[in-house]
């Protein structure tokens, strides 16, 4: 009986590799300039026009409190979908697609989850390499919602 595997699209953010389940990845495109979106939540940099669709872009480095992603030649935008919402994540680089045995995947450390840290869904152990943090896209999306400066205002 073969062991089940998990496929992760891996990206570099501030010299750390993070992974996103490939089931959420629509495509990866070259980095491009965004058009600002007035009064948008602060984590939304702006929008791009991708083949006739307007896609909001979130700087994943800022969303993970690691500083803005670099605009170098390796920078990419991962177009992702979760809960029927499509948006882009700006990353320093697209690294690889990692296929790992399910047994190599474990939950994040208890200390982190008990303290309210929820950006990481799982951690992938790798022989002779640093672990890969598997991101919880729904929590990244939640942080975008919370970055709305008007979210605390009462309706008038």
**CA–CA dist 139, 13 (Å, integer):** 17
Q: Which helix (H) or strand (E) is 87 found in, with range?
A: strand 85-91
74 pLDDT more than 60: yes
- With cut-offs at 50, 70 and 90, classify the pLDDT of residue 155: very low
| CATH code for the structural domain at 5-146 | 2.40.50.180
Predicted model pTM: 0.87
Provide the mean pLDDT of the chain.
89
Reduced to 3 states, what is the DSSP secondary structure of residue 16? strand
End-to-end CA distance of the chain: 61
**CA–CA dist 139, 121 (Å, integer):** 9
The b-or-e profile of 127-142 (16+ CB within 10 A means b, else e) is eeeeebbbbbbeebbe
Determine the length of the chain. 156
Tokens of 140: 């990244």
Give pLDDT tens digits for 108-152. 878 776 665 788 899 998 888 899 999 999 999 999 988 887 655
What pLDDT is stored for residue 154 in this prediction?
Answer: 42
What pLDDT is stored for residue 119 in this prediction?
Answer: 87
């Amino acid at each position: 009986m073969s062991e089940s595997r998990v496929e992760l699209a891996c990206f570099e953010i501030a010299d750390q590799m993070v992974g996103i389940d490939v089931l959420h990845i629509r495509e990866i495109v070259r980095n491009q300039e965004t058009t600002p979106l007035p009064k948008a939540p602060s984590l939304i940099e702006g929008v791009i026009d991708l083949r006739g669709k307007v896609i909001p872009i979130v700087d994943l480095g800022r969303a993970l409190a690691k500083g803005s992603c670099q605009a170098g030649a390796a920078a990419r935008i991962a177009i992702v979908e979760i809960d029927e919402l499509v948006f882009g994540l700006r990353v320093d680089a697209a690294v690889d697609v990692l296929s790992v045995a399910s047994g190599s995947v474990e939950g994040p450390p208890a200390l982190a989850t008990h303290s309210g840290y929820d950006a990481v869904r799982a951690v992938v152990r790798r022989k002779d390499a640093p672990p890969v943090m598997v991101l919880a896209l729904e929590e990244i999306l939640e942080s975008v919602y919370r970055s709305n400066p008007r979210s605390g205002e009462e309706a008038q």
